[in-house]
Amino acid sequence: MKDAINELLNKLFGGNKKITERQPLRRSDKDNLFYAQWSLMDRCRELVNLIHKSYHFKKAGMPSPLDIKIYQGTGANGFAIISGSTHMDSNEMTYLFEHFGTVVKRMGYRMAHSDREMTDKQHYVEIRERQYLKPPLSLDPPIDQLFGNVLMELVYADKEPQYLKLMVNTYAGRPYAEARPFDDFMEKLFE
């Protein structure tokens, strides 16, 4: 009861408590139509190729056309595309988020969860969209984990995209077959 009262007081008098709302990630029919049109355009292929090139340049320690961060670890690998590039507009980050989700599903993955979380950060509203994709269900060891679980996250500040992150996390343990190499995942992602 005390927490509810404090939350109400913070809302009324501008306290520093962050307000978060979480909901399933759903696109409107109009958004889906715009994405479908974009995915068939040359622009989609150009942008995917630019990201692929930027990823390899960054991995080789060379300057890349896009601001890309690379994550490499024992059980987790991935990359993030940082917004602010003159190479793409704000809608294209959303389209890329949808595109990568579609490509990962074509690799044999299933959507385990997707959501949108909105948080009041006092000076701006942060919107975090997530897609969590998993390999097909299997109970027979060794379980094929494909490349591992895939988490994609698109973060906005006041509706302006900040970054798009894609992480692949592998399972460890006896019931799981060894994950396929992350480099192979990246090549399939950019085919």
Angle between helices 29-39 and 42-59 (to 10 degrees): 70
pLDDT at 7: 64
pLDDT at 20: 84
Does 5 score more than 70 pLDDT?
Answer: no
State pLDDT tens for residues 133-164. Answer: 999 998 888 999 999 999 999 999 998 999 99
Burial (CB count within 10 angstroms: exposed 0-12, middle 13-18, buried 19+), residue 45: exposed
The pTM of the full predicted model, rounded to 2 decimals, is 0.86
Instruction: Please identify which residue in the block is written with the tokens 């798009």.
Output: 164
Per-residue pLDDT band for 2 (boundaries 50, 70, 90) equals low
Per-residue pLDDT band for 88 (boundaries 50, 70, 90) equals confident
Q: Kindly report the CA angle at 133 between 73 and 18, in degrees rounded to 5?
A: 80
pLDDT at 1: 58
